[in-house]
Amino acid sequence: MRRDYGFLVFCFLMATLSCAAQNSIPSSAHNQNLDAALPQAHVQNSSANIATLPTDEATSNSNVYTLPPDLLAKAITLTRLRAILSFGGTAWSIAVLLLALALRWPARLRDWTERITRRRWLQGLLFLPPAILFFIAMSLPLEIYSQHVERAYGLSVQSWPSWTGDQCKAWLISLVVFTPILLLMFWIIRKSPQRWWLWFWLCTLPVIVFGVFISPMWIDPMFNHFSPLEKSDPQLVVQLERLAQHAGLEIPPSRMFLMRASEKVTGLNAYVTGIGASKRIVVWDTTIQKLPSDEILFVVGHEMGHYVLEHIYKGLVFTALVLLVLLGLTYRCVAWLVHRYRAQWGIRGVDDWAALAVLLLAFTCFSFLFSPIANSFSRWEEHQADIYGQEAIHGLVASPRMTAQKAFVALGSVYLEAPHPNPWIEFWLYSHPSISRRANFAAHYDPWLAGRSPRYFSK
Hey, which residues are catalytic here?
Answer: 303
Among 381, 431, 437, 374, residue whose Cα is nearest residue 409: 437
Residues 6 or more apart in contact with residue 401 via CB below 8 angstroms: 57, 390, 442, 443, 444, 445, 446
Q: Rounded CA gap, 46 and 364, in Å?
A: 42
User: Phi-psi bin for 280: left (phi > 0), alpha (psi -120 to 50), beta?
Assistant: beta
Residues 335 and 193: beta-carbon distance below 8 Å? no
User: How many residues are present in the chain?
Assistant: 459
Measured distance CA(294)–CA(286) in Å, rounded:
15
Q: In whole angstroms, what is the distance from residue 82 CA to residue 27 CA?
A: 5
Identify which of 272, 8, 286 has the alpha carbon closest to the alpha carbon of residue 157. Answer: 286
CB 268 within 8 A of CB 303: no
Q: Cβ of 405: how many Cβ atoms within 10 Å?
A: 27
What is the three-class DSSP state of 246? Answer: helix
Give the contacts of 373 (CB within 8 A, at least 6 positions apart): 322
Distance CA(361)–CA(283), nearest Å, equals 37
**Are 444 and 62 in contact, with CB atoms under 8 Å apart?**
no
HEC per residue, 80-113? HHHHHHHHHHHHHHHHHHHHHHHCCHHHHHHHHH
Rounded to 10 degrees, what is the CA torsion of 139, 144, 145, 149? Answer: 130
Helix H or strand E segment including 178: helix 160-191
* Distance of alpha carbon 231 from alpha carbon 229, whole angstroms: 5
